[in-house]
Structure 1
Amino acid sequence: MSDSFVLTTDSCVDLPASYMRENNIPFVSLSYTMSGLTYLDDLGETMSDRAFYSRIKAGEESTTTQVNPGQYVDFFTPFLQEGKDILYLAFSSGLSGSHGSAVIAAEMLKEKFPDRRVVVVDSLSASMGQGLLLTHALTLKNDGATLDEVARWLEANRLHMCHFFTVNDLFHLYRGGRLSKGSAILGSLIGIKPLLHVDNNGRLAPIGKVRGRTGAINALADFVEKHGVNMDRQTVYISHGDCLEDAEFLAAILKRRFRVPKILINPVGPVIGSHAGQGVLALFFVGGSRGGKD
């Protein structure tokens, strides 16, 4: 195991808090605000995911805040004081300015710690897609890979982390500027469910639409057939916005169709959930490419 550097990330990995503790992975928390109160996204430790989505479902709005450079300086400094270098895997720069803040902080710390390094890698990923990338990085680190070797692997393989998802509430996409109000109203009336992915620039992009929730879940599985590789040897991740039954239904389809040996299901955290809404269902796996419109 290589312990000459610290592998770190942020709360948008949407992995279980227990996993982060057991594997000694420090993370910095993005924040969200509801009814005038600001909370840290600490992977469900302060506010449970169910409580968060219950408030969203009841009509309460949530806004999010990126991590600023000063917060990153505070996060990185203790590790540098211990004589450790840092590899930080950041939430996609296409979805948040937090990556840019981390880069600024790394530059700020060079003068105080000239013999130490803070390497920031843009995951170009989100939610458990970022989490999937992190777990692969952890395996490499535990096998003795150096900081530079892990960083190079992350940059070479991040676009193989496929993200496909659907949402239940079209009005969250409308509020986020990704759908017109008229389309949101019409789509809701006739049961249209959008299909989206995270593209090669780390941004959300629509790639299709289907009728009905079951149709959307089956369409997510179809993306595995189109883009997945060696599915019978992969661990696949599914994240959800308080719709565990749908996540389990999708997992059963994947096991039946592709003989996926292991599937981890976990809630979408409040930062991403603030934009995706209750009922978001997302699928993450390693593929030949991230795909897009066929």
Structure 2
Amino acid sequence: MSAAPQTRRVAIVTDSTSDLEPADAAARGIDVVPLFVNFGDARFRDRVDLSLDEFYRKLASLTVLPTTSQPTPALFEEAFRPHVEAGRAIVCVTIMASLSGTINAATTAGRSFPGAEIRVVDSGTVAGGLALIAQHASDLARDGADAATIAAALEGDARTLRGYATVPDLSHAVRTGRVSRAQAFIGSLVKILPVLRIDSGKIQEHARVRTFARALDAIVDAGAAVANQADGARICVIDSHAADEAAIVAARLREKITTVPLLFERLQAGPVIGTHAGQGALGVFVLPGPSTGSG
């Protein structure tokens, strides 16, 4: 029988850009530290103070986009403290350092507990990719692995995980600084959409296509190719208010990935990811490796 989260030797902590559903995170024993979404002077904790429906309604009506900010070290201290007091080691896995200083806040917080075993890991990814790695960490903790073993496994995950994403509208990425105005202008002139590859702490262009339908083809084909080369794979399809398209992508992946057992996850992008991606974005993340555990 699996150990209940409160009886495990190692606690798992991540941040809200993983976009794990709160109930699933709680069931898996994963503590989630929120980033912030700022609408003017009003600050909201990601996935805590603002529902997804409310966020996307607000986003659709705004002329000035919200901003996002990382958690404070104090929030990570709050997450760590009960586990330290209970004598548990902690493995904390965060959004890629190239996108956010969240890992620095977690590292600073860890120094507040001298003598405690707190290992902070850069996932090298975000969103659905971070969710898959956090879930893997939870499975390892459930099975009795120690903190050093879990952290080493997650560092391996960061090297092998692949993500592919596309957005139908580049305006949000421009306004939040993720895509240059020149890139977006050229893309709009020639009706080109980028397909992005997310791995090893970098976001790079994977392909350029003419239509959103072809962009979806590209992320399905790329994700399936990675999975079919592995002994097993954890798969996540994530969308920002594009449930119908995400369902199609998930179904097509299931058709194409026939040679490996799957752990399959469907997630919705929360306010922080939605701020940068805008509505309609889709991503496919693949973590190669034996698909053991509850998925």
Instruction: State the TM bucket, normalised to the shorter chain.
Output: 0.7 to 0.9
Bigger shift: 224-233 or 164-173? 224-233
1:52 alignment partner AA: F
Partners of 2:10 and 2:232 lie apart in 1 by: 29
What per-residue deviation string (whole Å, max 9, x for no partner) do you get for residues 41-71 of structure 1? 13xx532212212222223511111112233
What per-residue deviation string (whole Å, max 9, x for no partner) do you get for residues 102-121 of structure 1? 112212321xxx2x211111
User: 1:166 aligned to 2:171?
Assistant: no
Q: State whether residues 229 and 286 of structure 1, in contact with CA within 8 Å, keep that contact through their aligned partners in structure 2.
A: no
- Aligned residue in 2 for 1:92: 96
User: 1:250 aligned to 2:249?
Assistant: yes
Determine helix, strand or coil for the equivalent of 1:26: strand
Deviation for aligned residue 1:214: 0.6
Amino-acid identity (%): 29
- Aligned residue in 2 for 1:46: 49
Deviation for aligned residue 1:225: 4.2
2:107 alignment partner AA: V
What per-residue deviation string (whole Å, max 9, x for no partner) do you get for residues 220-239 of structure 1? 01212443345794341111
CA RMSD of aligned residues (A): 2.1
Closer/same/farther in 2, CA of residues 262 and 8 from structure 1, 3 Å limit: closer
Deviation for aligned residue 1:25: 1.6
Bigger shift: 30-39 or 237-246? 30-39
Partners of 1:25 and 1:157 lie apart in 2 by: 17
- Aligned residue in 1 for 2:120: 120
What per-residue deviation string (whole Å, max 9, x for no partner) do you get for residues 187-234 of structure 1? 33554221112232x132222211111110001012124433457943
- Aligned residue in 1 for 2:22: 17
Partners of 1:231 and 1:249 lie apart in 2 by: 23
User: 1:179 aligned to 2:182?
Assistant: no
Q: State whether residues 94 and 203 of structure 1, in contact with CA within 8 Å, keep that contact through their aligned partners in structure 2.
A: yes
1:1-294 to structure 2, matched below 5 A, reads 1=3, 3-42=8-47, 45-59=48-62, 60-110=64-114, 114=115, 116-188=116-188, 190-200=190-200, 202-229=201-228, 233-259=232-258, 261=262, 263-287=264-288
Bigger shift: 174-183 or 225-234? 225-234
Closer/same/farther in 2, CA of residues 187 and 54 from structure 1, 3 Å limit: farther
User: TM-score, normalised to structure 1's length?
Assistant: 0.88
- Aligned residue in 2 for 1:291: none
User: TM-score, normalised to structure 2's length?
Assistant: 0.87
Partners of 2:154 and 2:263 lie apart in 1 by: 22
Q: State whether residues 128 and 284 of structure 1, in contact with CA within 8 Å, keep that contact through their aligned partners in structure 2.
A: yes
